[in-house]
């Protein structure tokens, strides 16, 4: 197995700063070079992706290789953001993993119908979190082939 040492960018969209810290930590534990960026809600996510507002210079907003999307957030929540994301031709190829505490069937169904690439419940326990991201990283960064646009980000300007 070849280890792709290319540094990846993960954009975590979650208002929970502890979760952001833990995910970043978990990715580090997997040993994959990974840059975990976090934004607090959907509004901020689009600002990041479209280089708007505080991300207007584009320097601090490298295009993500994977988006981790929480569902329950203030302002623009995950469901709304997902719909908008997948309707935008410049972003829709970025894989989206819905990562949430909700296990409601209705949420799972809705997310897949909106075009989510995966759906996972936030695991309880740090080992479980590391395990999850080990698999996620291996899958999205090593095993699957994505359109080049996605890998190099949807530079939307």
Q: Does 22 bind other proteins (CB under 8 A)?
A: yes
Sheet of 66-69: strands edge to edge?
A: 34-39, 8-13, 66-69, 96-100, 118-121
- Residues 50-69 binding other proteins (CB under 8 A) are none
Exactly one of 8, 51, 79, 122 binds other proteins (CB under 8 A); that residue is 122
State in angstroms the smallest separation of the CB of 97 from other proteins: 18
- Residues 128-147 binding other proteins (CB under 8 A) are 129
Exactly one of 2, 57, 124, 145 binds other proteins (CB under 8 A); that residue is 124
| Cα–Cα distance measured from residue 13 to residue 124, given in angstroms and rounded to the nearest whole number | 19
State in angstroms the smallest separation of the CB of 19 from other proteins: 8
Q: Which residue has the tokens 């359109």?
A: 147
> Among 6-14, 58-66, 116-124, 148-156, which window interacts with other proteins (CB under 8 A)?
116-124
Q: Which is nearer to other proteins, 60 or 128 (CB)?
A: 128
Sign of CA dihedral 96, 94, 38, 113: negative
End-to-end CA distance of the chain: 37
CB distance 46 to 103 below 8 Å: no
Q: Backbone dihedral region of 58: left (phi > 0), alpha (psi from -120 to 50 degrees) or beta?
A: left
Q: Does 18 bind other proteins (CB under 8 A)?
A: yes
Q: Does 120 bind other proteins (CB under 8 A)?
A: no
CB distance 29 to 114 below 8 Å: no
Binding site for other proteins (CB under 8 A): 18-19, 22, 25, 101, 122-127, 129
């Amino acid at each position: 197995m070849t280890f792709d040492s290319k540094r990846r960018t993960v954009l975590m969209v979650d208002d929970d700063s502890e979760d952001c810290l833990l995910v970043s930590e978990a990715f580090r534990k997997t040993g994959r070079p990974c840059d975990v960026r976090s934004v607090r809600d959907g509004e901020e996510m689009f600002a990041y992706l479209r280089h708007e507002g505080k991300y207007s210079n584009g320097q601090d907003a490298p295009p993500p290789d994977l988006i981790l999307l929480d569902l329950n957030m203030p302002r623009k929540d995950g469901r709304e953001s997902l719909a908008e994301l997948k309707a935008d031709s410049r972003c829709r190829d970025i894989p989206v993993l819905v990562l949430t505490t909700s296990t409601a069937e209705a949420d799972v169904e809705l997310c897949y119908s909106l075009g989510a690439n995966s759906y996972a419940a936030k695991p309880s326990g740090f080992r479980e979190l590391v395990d999850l991201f080990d698999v996620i990283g291996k899958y999205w960064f090593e095993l699957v082939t994505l359109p080049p646009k996605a890998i190099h980000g949807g530079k939307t300007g």
